[in-house]
Chain A
Amino acid sequence: MKGVNTLDGDLVFLSMSAKGYANDNPEAGPKMKKTLEIAKKHNPVNLGDMKTGNILAVSEEQIMNNVVDTSIVHAVFNNVADAAAFAKEVREAELGISLVISAPFDKAWEVADKSGCMGHTIEFSGGIWGKTEYLPTPEINDFTTMCGHGMISRYLVEWVLDRVKKDKMTAKDGAVEIGKQCCCGIYNPDRAEKLIKAIVGK
C-alpha cells in the first residue's frame, strides 16, 4: 500500500442511554432519534442503529422509525469540521445522553475543543494478543476491523479487491458492498474506498 493515512478521516460517534440511571426513561429513544437527525445535517458518511442496521444496507426511514430506548445509534464523519459541528449541535440540544467518539486521540480532543465538549473518559486499545497468525494481512485487517463485531468477511474483502483490480467493480461500489455486512453503522465507506484505491493502485 502507498502509505495512505485513512485513520484521520475516520471519526465514529455512538450514543446510548445508561440503563438503570436517571436518563433511562421513555425519552431515550426520541433523544437518540434526535441525535441521528442532527447527524444527517452534517454530511455523515454512514449512520445506523445496532437494532436495525446502517444506511448502506437498510433505508434511513427504517433506521429512524425503529429507534427505541435501548438502541445504540451511530454516525460516521470523515473530517473534524463536520464531526465538531455535529457534536456542538448535540451538546446545545441538551439531550442528556452520552455521546462517544472513536477516533485518533488528537482528533478527538480537537472535536471536544471545537464543540465545547469535554474529555470525560478515555479508552485505550492495547493491541491484539494470542495467536495473531490467525489474523488476515494488515491490509485486509484495516477493512475487517472497521466493524467491531467482526461481521466483515476477509473473503469478501479479497473478492472485492480482486474485482476492482480487474475493473469489474468500482472502488466506491466495492466499499459499499463490504459495508453492508457491518450492520450497526460504524463502518466508514469513505475510508474503505481510499484503502481500496491505495491497495489496487488506482
Chain B
Amino acid sequence: MKIDCEKCVKCGSCVKYCPLGAIKLDEDCAVIDQARCVDCGDCIRTETCPVDAFIYEAQPFPRSVREAFSNPLAEHKETRVPGRGTEEMKTNDIRGLFGKGIIGMACEVGRPGVSCSFKDVDIVTRALAEGGMEFAEENPVTKNMVNKKTGEMSKDIMNERVMSAICEGTVPIEKLANCIKLATEAAKKIDSVYSLEFIDRPEADRSVPMQKVLDEAGIKYYRNGKFNLGLARPLAQ
C-alpha cells in the first residue's frame, strides 16, 4: 500500500485506522512504513481519505504473501477460501478430522493484532513438527514450508511480515503434552505473540478428553470458544 504524496492533504485522518500504526505524518504528506505495513487493506476499506490518496498495487512474490495472509477479503489461490487458515473445526461435522484421540492444535502467530515475520513462524512450526504435529495440507503456512517433517519455512518469504499466520494440524493425544511444552518454549524465542487453540470432540457426558492433558500442562483456556453444532450432512460420526 502506498500514499500519493501529490494528492495527500496531510489531514492525518488515516493514521488512527492502521491497526499496526504504520502510517505517519511526514513533513510533506502521510507516509506508510513499508517494512511494517502488511498490505491488509484496512486503510482503503475504511474510506477515510478525503482525496483518495491511497494507492493499491498487487505486489510480486515474495511481498505478495503479505496481502494473502493479512487481507481478510483476499483469497488464497489454492483454496479459494478467504482468511488465513483452513476450515479446521468449522466443518468437522462433515470432515471428521478431529476427535477420538486426534487433537486439532493451532498457533496463530501474530494474533491478536501484533503481526509477525515468517522468522517467527519458522520458530513455531519447527517446534510443532518436533512435537509430532501433522500439518494441515490445505493451510497456507503448510504450503509455504519446504519440509513438512521439520516445519522449515521457505527462505524466500522469511523477511515478509503478515498480520498473522496460522500454524495448524493434528496431534495424537498421547503426544499433545510434549507438543504443548515445545510450543510454549518456542513462544519465548519469537518477537511476536501467538494465540493457542485446541480442538476435540465432547463425549456423551459433555466432558472433553483433551481437557485433562491441557489441565496437566497448565494451559488456562478461556471460558468462551468455538462450538460446532453438528448440522452438516452427512454427519461425521
Contacts and interface: CB of A to CB of B under 8 A. Distances in A.
A51 B73 contact: yes
A164 interface: no
A128 B193 contact: yes
B46 A180 contact: yes
Given A100-B89, A150-B112, A151-B72, A127 B233 contact: no
Interface in A147-182: 148-156, 158-159, 180-181
B113 A101 contact: no
- Say whether chain A's binding surface is mostly helix, strand, loop, or mixed: mixed
B200 interface: yes
B227 A103 contact: yes
B194 A128 contact: yes
A101 B46 contact: no
Interface string B176-203: 0000000110011011111111111110
Interface size class of B (residues with CB under 8 A): 35 or more
A99 B210 CA distance: 23
A181 B18 CA distance: 10
A100 B83 contact: no
Given A21-B95, A104-B223, A129-B183, 6 more contacts: A18-B95, A103-B224, A119-B228, A122-B227, A124-B225, A130-B188
B214 interface: yes
A181 B184 CA distance: 31
B164 A150 contact: yes
Interface residues of A, number: 74
Question: Most chain-B CB neighbours within 10 Å: which of A106, A141, A148, A152?
Answer: A148
B135 to A, nearest CB: 18
Interface string A76-111: 000000000001001100111111111111101101
B39 to A, nearest CB: 13
Interface of B: 15-19, 21, 40, 42, 45-46, 72-73, 75, 79-84, 87-95, 98-99, 104, 107, 110-115, 138, 163-164, 183-184, 187-188, 190-202, 206, 208, 210-211, 214, 219-236
B163 A149 contact: yes
Contacts of B138: 19
B125 to A, nearest CB: 14
A57 interface: yes
Contacts of B235: 120
Given A16-B87, A100-B90, A151 B232 contact: no
Given A123-B199, A126-B196, A141-B112, A151 B40 contact: yes
Contacts of B107: 129
Contacts of B210: 124
Given A21-B91, A51-B82, A105-B224, A149 B72 contact: yes
A109 B206 contact: yes
Contact of B113 (A95, A126, A129, A145): A145
